[in-house]
Amino acid sequence: MSDPTQTAENTDFDAVDAKTSLILTASRLFAHSGINGVSMRKIAEQAGQGNHFAVQYHFGSREGLVQAIFDYHMEQMEPMRGDMLKRVIENDLTSDAHSLLEIIMLPQLHVDGKDDASYGNFLSQYLLRREWVEYGVFGHEAPPNLHQALTLLRKRVHYLPSNVAQRRLVGVSLMFLNLLVRRDQRKEANEEAFNQALKDTMDQIVMAMCLPLRI
């Protein structure tokens, strides 16, 4: 992985606005050094911003920037989730847990950017940063296609209390993100083909999400 303290070669700052430059740069730096491990000034510098207070100007605070990064990545995945959701509805699979979890998980394999580990590392930190008690709520309201997929999944696991369904959703998301990071690090190469690992992981995710609650 390239040194994240240097301005990213794969970020064309002339092609994006200042806010997007800050989001992309912060996502990469947070992934490498931790969400609390890099200064707002460093992010502004590496994003090519002359104003050292650019983060505060655009996002208000570190937490505002963190939420903006999460929202940005969720919006990136909306078109693919929309296509997948349409096929699920057309094929009458709206109660099929595997299909619904694929809508939620698989688009993360195609997040824009050359360094998939940055996204996986950032989102893992984001999910572990606080307690997520209310089902399907991870800060701001989810974009429409993700929201619909989460709603259908909640109906599928209606027998689970809301807080349990949310805890499991976070858990299986972290399981998938681990696979995503390992793919980028090529650790799977000597163990099994990635597609096989992906299939096995999705099977585990479905089982973990849908297992009846034992009291």
The predicted-structure confidence for 53-70, as pLDDT tens digits, reads as follows 899 999 999 999 999 999
Query: Class for domain 18-61, per CATH?
Result: mainly alpha
Using DSSP's 3-state secondary structure scheme, residue 17 falls into coil
The pLDDT tens digits along the chain (215 residues) read: 344 444 433 444 444 688 999 999 999 999 889 999 999 999 999 999 888 889 999 999 999 999 999 999 999 999 999 999 999 999 999 999 999 999 999 999 988 554 546 788 899 999 999 899 999 999 888 999 999 999 999 999 999 999 999 999 999 999 999 998 887 666 545 556 888 999 999 999 999 999 999 87
Give this prediction's pTM: 0.85
- The phi and psi torsions of 85 (rounded to 5 degrees) equal -65, -40
The DSSP secondary structure of 78-94, one letter per residue, reads: HHHHHHHHHHHHHTT-T
Q: Report pLDDT digits (tens) over 11-31.
A: 444 446 889 999 999 999 998
| Structure tokens, 171 | 């858990």
How open is the CA angle 44-28-9, to the nearest 5 degrees?
Answer: 80
- Where do the domains of the chain lie? 18-61, 77-210
